Structures are given as C-alpha cells and as structure tokens.
Amino acid sequence: MSESYSMNQSIEQILRQTPLFTGLSDAETAALAVRVIRKRFDRGELLFSEGDRCQGLYLVANGKVRIFKLSPSGREQILAVEGPGSSFAELPVFDGGSYPASASALEDSEVLFISRKDFQGFCLEHPEVGLKVIAVVGARLRRLVGIIEELSFTTVRQRLISVLLRLAHTDGKRSKVGVVIELPKSQQDLAAELGTVRELISRNLGRLQAEGYLDVQGRKIVVKDLAGLEREQAATG
C-alpha cells in the first residue's frame, strides 16, 4: 500500500484507514484506539527479533518495516516489506508462540502497537475483525509459498532478471541507449530479498553486462536489450 499517513493524524484516523479495521463504527474505533500505543523507530532499529515472546500486533502508520530471517551464518532473507496500512505479527498473537521472524525499520517509521491480550479481546467482541485477520494471514502464507518456490526452483540469475524486468516495465525510462532503471535498494538488500549474497548479485550483474544485456553504473542500470532479457526469462520460466 503506497499511501502515507500524516504524523499529525490521530490514532483513530489511522485505524479508520487501515484495511483490517475498516467497517468499524466511530464508537468501536474509539474503543480500540484507547488500547493502542504509538511508537517510533529509527531506520535500522529492531522492533523485535525472531524467537522473542510475542507481545502483540503491529500496524504501520508511517515509513516501512522489513520482516526478515537470519540464517545461522548471518545471511539475511527478506520475507516482506510492510508499508502504511499493513499489519504484521498476527499469527503469534493467536497461537501463543514466539515471533517467527525479525522486524526492523527500513526507514524512520511510526507504528501502532496493540497488546496480544487487548487484540484477542477485541476480536472476540468483533468477529469480523478476526475474519479479516484470517484473510491477511492467508494472503501472507500464499506469498511465503511463492518465495519458497522461487528459491527452490530458480537460480539467482533468473530471480535477478525477473526483478530487472519488473523495474524496467514499471519504473523504467526509455532513452536512446535503452531503458534506464534505478535499483531502489543496495545490492546487499537486493541479495537479502532474492535469498543470496551480495557477491552473487554483483557477479550476475557483471555477466549480464558482459553479455550485452545491461550497462551497470552503480544503482543506475541501462537495459540495452530488453527483448533479449525477456527471452532469457521465457526460456528458463
């Protein structure tokens, strides 16, 4: 969700614009708002770590929060990036387990926090909210299955080409030399999203450049042969 909420908005206003709580009356929204704690996190600051005891549910009001897991060797896999209007940590709120992944602020962010006890009580009083939570968790499960399939059945080269093509089609600017795109994140962050290490991202970008598909200039990339990249993707899809 791309919408950004003003830092001056009240908790009630933010809740009304959060899909999980649309449909609540003003009185119900006000009743929930008194149970909410507003928190701010600096870029890079941890909200919680994998294995921590679940304290409650989070809603993003401003900024972006990344959900990730770390391997024993310290390699990071980004599972999701949540923006304004998104909720996370729903599952452990209900199953009583620990947080299954870590969360940190991708940029300076503001979140709303509802304790596990308060949110469970609110869902008992308002079953329609519980049904929306099930829908959110279901969509997240589908997304995670997609990540597993991608990591299991595609190479780093294929995943990188997929990202480059998506950026070229959504944000690319056509020029005389090709389609110019800007990587929205560092190679380290891109590696974490694609389930690999920075060195392999750099190596594959270098190979694609040597093969004539790209011209790499830091985060700026000129896709010189868009049709060729699309054929590459189709041949390995």
Positive or negative CA dihedral for 76, 78, 84, 86?
negative
pLDDT of 50: 94
Is residue 99 one of the residues assigned to a domain?
Answer: yes
Name the percent of the chain in helix, strand, coil, to the closest 5. Answer: 45, 25, 30
Whether residues 141 and 161 share a domain: the answer is no
Is residue 50 one of the residues assigned to a domain?
Answer: yes
Q: Does the pLDDT of residue 144 top 80, yes or no?
A: no
Tell how strand 46-48 and strand 76-82 pair up: unpaired
**Domain C-terminal end among 152, 183, 217:** 152
Whether residues 112 and 163 share a domain: the answer is no
Instruction: Name the pLDDT band for 8 (thresholds 50, 70, 90).
Output: low
Q: How far apart are CA 57 and CA 86, in angstroms?
A: 11
Domain housing 114: 11-152
Whether residues 60 and 102 share a domain: the answer is yes
Residue 6, SS3? coil
Q: What is the mean pLDDT of residues 68-97?
A: 87
Is residue 5 one of the residues assigned to a domain?
Answer: no
Prediction pTM value = 0.66
Q: What is the mean pLDDT of the chain?
A: 87
Burial of 146 (0-12, 13-18, 19+ CB in 10 A): exposed
Kind plus residue range of the DSSP H or E element containing 234:
helix 226-236
Q: How far apart are CA 218 and CA 220, in angstroms?
A: 5
pLDDT of 149: 75
pLDDT of 1: 36
The mean-pLDDT minimum among 6-15, 37-46, 225-234 falls in 6-15
Which CATH number characterizes residue 42's domain? 2.60.120.10
